[in-house]
Structure 1
Amino acid sequence: MKLIHKDERGLTLIEVLAVLVILGIVAAVAFLLTSKVIQQSKGQAFVANAIAMKESATLHKRSNEVILDGKVEGKLMYQELIEEGYLEPLMDPYTNKEWTTTEDADGSFVEIRFEDNRLNYYVCLKSDTKVLCQEDGVGILSSELAVDKIKNRVIK
């Protein structure tokens, strides 16, 4: 016959299960928060690609002074920026693939416009899965580029 002492301590099955359920809930919340952060960082990387295109267009403009109709204006295609050495091929953060000029068949671009006595840069960036342009395919003003303007690509 076994004697049970009052000082003997241990965990019951219910206590162990309760701890496991709490740990499971904490793990699920941590996973959801982590996946949201990953998605946000992918969006930020996509916007950074658009900003890199704008910066390379700025460099191109300064070195070549793109002039049409007496104004400093022009439309620089992604392919042109790469081929002329102003931009390295970008990495698509959503597919982890290098964004080659052949994969940019739809034509991502930076449009330079002279408005209100200053140069404005409008960027339109199109990948396999995402688009950072206005609905009508017009570029977004570079100062307004943001993660919330990225849209899922609709293949027609």
Structure 2
Amino acid sequence: MQPDLLSQLKDIQTPQSIGNWPLAWGWWVIIVVCCVLIAIAIVATILFLQKRKAKKQALKLLNALDPEQNPIHTVQSINSILKRVVLAYGEREQVANLNGDKWATWLNNNSHDDVTIAPEFMLLAYQANCSSVEAAEYLKQSKAWIDKNLPLNERNKGEQNV
């Protein structure tokens, strides 16, 4: 009886292997979500770098100034660089026509409490001469102001501070 049973057995047929494609819909959802998150991260990084580009360039220009050689030119350049960098952050309506005390007031109103620029330094650009010590101090305060306050925060960005 044993040989009859064995002769009746047929070879085992394995099923076809399951392929990886097409993917189940859950995998497609995961792929789309990952792609969207990567795209958002790339855009956010690009915007972050562009937003800080003007600040970086302004600090580079300020670092190139030497108050010992020509203090008047240094003070005038500092004023110009400060104005340009603030205008780069979209404050044209508020800042374009400001100078002297009004400009100093605007800068100090839009700064953190511990970082301000002395108003008398703003007036140095309009005087016939100034010392290299004053120019160096103005340069130091301007670097600190740019470093700590730019880009301008949204709280101050829309306010009229003059």
Larger radius of gyration: 2
Quickly name the TM-score band, shorter chain normalised. Answer: 0.3 to 0.5
More helix by share: 2
Q: Which has the higher contact order (CA 8 A, sep 6+)?
A: 2
TM-score of the superposed pair, with normalisation by structure 2 = 0.43
TM-score of the superposed pair, with normalisation by structure 1 = 0.44
